[in-house]
Structure 1
Amino acid sequence: MDNRFVQRFIEIAGRIGAQRHLVAVRDGFVAIMPLIIIGSLAVLLNNFPAFGPVDLVGFLNSIFGEGNWQNVGGTVWNGSFAVIGLLIAFSVAYNLAKSYDLDGLAAGLISIASFIMLVPVTEDWGLNFAWLGAQGLFVALIVSLITTELFRLLVKSNITIKMPDGVPEGVQRSFQALIPTALILLLVGIFQALMTVVAEISVFEVIFNVIQAPLQGIGNTLPAAIVVSFLNHLLWFFGLHGTNIIGSVIEPIYLPLIEENLALFQQGVSAFEVPYTVTKPFLDSFVFMGGSGTTIALIIAIFIVVRGKQKHPYKEIAKLSTPAGIFNINEPVIFGLPIVLNPIMLIPFILIPVTLTIVSFFALDLGLVPKTVAIVPWTTPPILSGYLVTGGDVRGIILQLFNIALAVVMYIPFVIAGMRTLNKQNEG
């Protein structure tokens, strides 16, 4: 492989991964991920199926009355997934402002205020929840980035109120943000008035119809899933954190899809009948098992090839990597084996996840396995994650076991080749 090409690729990918606005979007989603996961699990609990003699929903209904206890899960949903747009409006603006060494709290509050100003109002003068959630995600991203850039421009231009020395720091920050806040909200107000008069449609509907809906439609296709899987692992092969680099791009596309699945599942729709196949839990649970590259299968393949008491560096690395690999942390095997810039491992490291993406897509799309209706922490071990993301269905476990077995079979020839190459190097 041409070293100049490798160096150039790493340089370009590194710049993209470090781009300020993409990093702010990525960190904004990471910050609210605990709320998203808890909201997802609340819905899953409310609709948990009977498993053999264990009927959790029936048991709780017998104690608290039919459906009464499920109000708790519903309110948790309202405070998390249902207002994800509102949360992102603050979180992304906060992180972007901090990257400029500005007042993150002020930027976040300005972003939230601007976002709410644009949200359509119901007839009884309430905010329309339909646009506070995933449907308003792209507007939240645009608002948070634009308002924070305006805030930065105004602060750096010294269009602020200066307070004398001795004034408490909190008061200084508050007055410093006063004029920028007023100007930004005024601009947002004028924009909203023009949209109402000229277009007679909210900016949310425009952005959703023109940008968000088409991207979500493309994102739910097999080619898009293959591209995401391929790019993620190509970046990892060059030692770059593929998940982080492409996360800021795919999160706004795939989170609304799982949100729609979750909302329908909460309303009683079967996990087989929800609309979207490709979601973030789809990739995390059925492709990235053990981490990127399905490296839990690589560890198993090493143990199969290096049998019994036979000693080999590969086996030692597999032993050290197993505890972390169970929880989808695979840096020990990626950098220890290594997989990074290892030409022998390039083919399986990229080919296997792409293959599993195709297998899993058809398994879900054809109705052999339920679609994903829950988000679980990315460290959730395989088997448990497959059961939970499919709404508590053992077919999710079966698909994971099949994928792991297929990946093990595909990894074995390359493990053997890698061991032979290492042995020859040691002998030489």
Structure 2
Amino acid sequence: MKKFIAFMEKHFLPVATKIGNQRHLIAIRDAFAYTMPLMIVGAFAVLINNLPIPGFQSFMNGIFSEKLGDSYVWTLLGGNIWNGTFAILSILISFLVAHNLAKTYDIDSISAGIVSLASFFAVGGAQGMDSAGLFIALIVGLISTEIFKRLSGVDKFNIKMPDGVPPAVSKSFAALLPAIFTVTIFAFVTMLLNAMHIENVVTAFYKAVQVPFMGMANSYPTALLIAFITPFLWFFGLHGANMIEPFMQTINAPAIQANAAALKAGKEIPYIVNKPFMDSFVNMGGTGVTIGLLIAIFIVGRKNKPYMSVASLATAPGIFNINEPLAFGLPLVLNPILFVPYILAPMVSVSIAYFATVSGFMPACTSMPPWVTPPIIGAVIATASWQGGVIAALNIVVAALIYAPFVYMSTAIEMRKSEAALNAA
């Protein structure tokens, strides 16, 4: 372990540190940090609405029996909270990324954020205000700010107001022409795409990414691909789980039905890879087996105050497989140090669970517990066996071991920063 850490500190950390100090990545990182309180509130709202305690839903429905459409009124509280948090995530990120990046260039950051927001809606952001439009929001925030910065540097585009005009009015007029041209550029590009029969950029992007997955079948390579692509997309700010959901649903329903029928008939279970397999043995704590990351932080990252603060807040939702507070709080998004274990842990977990099933030690998944069912419990329910719980527990231990050296490195970097700050003071 010491040799491995020494090797990573010598060869990996310098590159990771350089990447981590890149202004565009910092702007994105800080944007997610600003949204963390909302993500925590939204995560708890989702948790309460889907709490996997036997009888909880019936108990709540019995007390609050009034319904609005197909939903019980009490569930609307969590839904409304979601509308004010996750449902507007892309809007917030579009503004905050531009705002943060503009500050590093020492230009009007408020105007840059507003221009980014307008540009986001110009490319169809109304169809992707939640995490579905996150990637587009990031790109628009970065590009619009770069365009706005360059146009703001052209004297002919600056409308200067007389002395005595309030600063807010003066800034708004100074940003007028750069804002007009920036938004128009995005609107023009969108018009060209519309002329090519691409009705919405956000929708088209999702279709372009999802379609290649739609015809894939149940297999070990498929499981590895899912385990890789989901955290890989999350690393770049895309909601990987949502993006591959249509693919998972195309294989999930028939696979579960066939497995249940085979179990009832006493035959061999035909399908190993399905949604409960991924939820119960791979997405424990959330994408990336992040329950293992939480354990690693509490064991080897206790001196890392930022990590401990986030981990303390993210543990409760993490137990129920909600890891947005962790993903956006550490963050995992565009975190070069945690990239390797974030990808590796789920792929190793898939392999352990798959071959445990193939070998006959553990039955295949024949039922689908709610995705918020806590780790180990979900595996027992999905496989209807204690062996499933054993494999889930093994995966958690292995994931924690995979994350541990990288958490240690992050802690070392944070301690160096703290020491440097104290010395500078």
TM-score normalised over the length of structure 1: 0.58
Segment drifting more, 401-410 vs 5-14 = 401-410
Distance, in Å, in 1 between the alignment partners of 2:342 and 2:123 is 45
Matched with 2:51 is: 48
* Alignment check: 8 A CA contact 1:114 1:185 kept: yes
* 2:184 maps to 1:186: yes
Taking a change above 3 Å as real, the CA distance of residues 210 and 24 of structure 1, as seen in their structure-2 partners, is farther
Matched with 2:202 is: 204
Shift in Å, 1:163: 2.6
Please give the per-residue CA displacement for 1:88-146, whole angstroms capped at 9, x wherever unaligned: 211222221122222222112111111112227xxxxxx44xx2222222211211111
Identity between Structure 1 and Structure 2 (%): 30
RMSD between aligned alpha carbons? 5.1
Structure 1 unmatched ranges of 5 or more: 121-126, 230-245, 264-269, 300-317, 330-349, 375-383, 412-428
Distance, in Å, in 2 between the alignment partners of 1:6 and 1:285 is 23
Which structure 2 residues correspond to residues 322-333 of structure 1 after superposition, within 5 A? 328=311
* 2:104 maps to 1:99: yes
Segment drifting more, 96-105 vs 196-205 = 196-205
Please give the per-residue CA displacement for 1:56-85, whole angstroms capped at 9, x wherever unaligned: 433332333241111111122222222322
Distance, in Å, in 2 between the alignment partners of 1:398 and 1:41 is 28
**Count of residue pairs brought into register by the alignment:** 321
* 2:108 maps to 1:118: no
Shift in Å, 1:400: 6.9
Matched with 2:151 is: 154
* Alignment check: 8 A CA contact 1:84 1:133 kept: yes
Matched with 2:65 is: 65
Aligned counterpart in structure 1 of residue 25 of structure 2, from 22, 25, 48: 22
Taking a change above 3 Å as real, the CA distance of residues 43 and 104 of structure 1, as seen in their structure-2 partners, is same
Distance, in Å, in 2 between the alignment partners of 1:389 and 1:97 is 45
Give the letter for the 1:63 counterpart: I
Distance, in Å, in 2 between the alignment partners of 1:406 and 1:5 is 20
* 2:238 maps to 1:222: no
Matched with 1:12 is: 15
TM-score normalised over the length of structure 2: 0.58
Distance, in Å, in 2 between the alignment partners of 1:358 and 1:275 is 14
Distance, in Å, in 1 between the alignment partners of 2:137 and 2:310 is 32
Taking a change above 3 Å as real, the CA distance of residues 402 and 156 of structure 1, as seen in their structure-2 partners, is same
Please give the per-residue CA displacement for 1:363-408, whole angstroms capped at 9, x wherever unaligned: 599549978946xxxxxxxxx9748999x99x99977754566689
Taking a change above 3 Å as real, the CA distance of residues 197 and 409 of structure 1, as seen in their structure-2 partners, is closer
Matched with 2:409 is: none
* Alignment check: 8 A CA contact 1:369 1:399 kept: no
Distance, in Å, in 2 between the alignment partners of 1:13 and 1:250 is 15
Distance, in Å, in 1 between the alignment partners of 2:186 and 2:109 is 19
Segment drifting more, 173-182 vs 154-163 = 154-163
* Alignment check: 8 A CA contact 1:290 1:328 kept: no
* Alignment check: 8 A CA contact 1:287 1:353 kept: no
Shift in Å, 1:152: 0.9
* Alignment check: 8 A CA contact 2:23 2:104 kept: yes
SS class of match (2:165): coil
Shift in Å, 1:291: 3.4
Taking a change above 3 Å as real, the CA distance of residues 192 and 59 of structure 1, as seen in their structure-2 partners, is same
SS class of match (1:252): coil
Distance, in Å, in 2 between the alignment partners of 1:224 and 1:281 is 14
* Alignment check: 8 A CA contact 1:20 1:99 kept: yes
SS class of match (2:294): coil
Aligned counterpart in structure 1 of residue 139 of structure 2, from 133, 142, 162: 142
Matched with 2:113 is: 108
Distance, in Å, in 2 between the alignment partners of 1:352 and 1:200 is 34
Matched with 1:177 is: 175
Which structure 2 residues correspond to residues 29-428 of structure 1 after superposition, within 5 A? 29-51=32-54, 55-66=55-66, 67-119=72-124, 127-128=126-127, 131-158=128-155, 159-210=157-208, 222=224, 249-254=235-240, 256=242, 273=275, 277=279, 281-283=286-288, 285-291=290-296, 296=299, 328=311, 354=344, 358-359=348-349, 363=353, 367=365, 373=371, 386=375, 401-403=393-395
Structure 2 unmatched ranges of 5 or more: 67-71, 217-221, 250-255, 257-273, 313-339, 358-363, 404-425
Shift in Å, 1:14: 1.8
Please give the per-residue CA displacement for 1:330-372, whole angstroms capped at 9, x wherever unaligned: xxxxxxxxxxxxxxxxxxxx99995686236755995499789
Distance, in Å, in 2 between the alignment partners of 1:4 and 1:56 is 50
Shift in Å, 1:11: 2.9
Please give the per-residue CA displacement for 1:18-47, whole angstroms capped at 9, x wherever unaligned: 122122222222222332332232122112
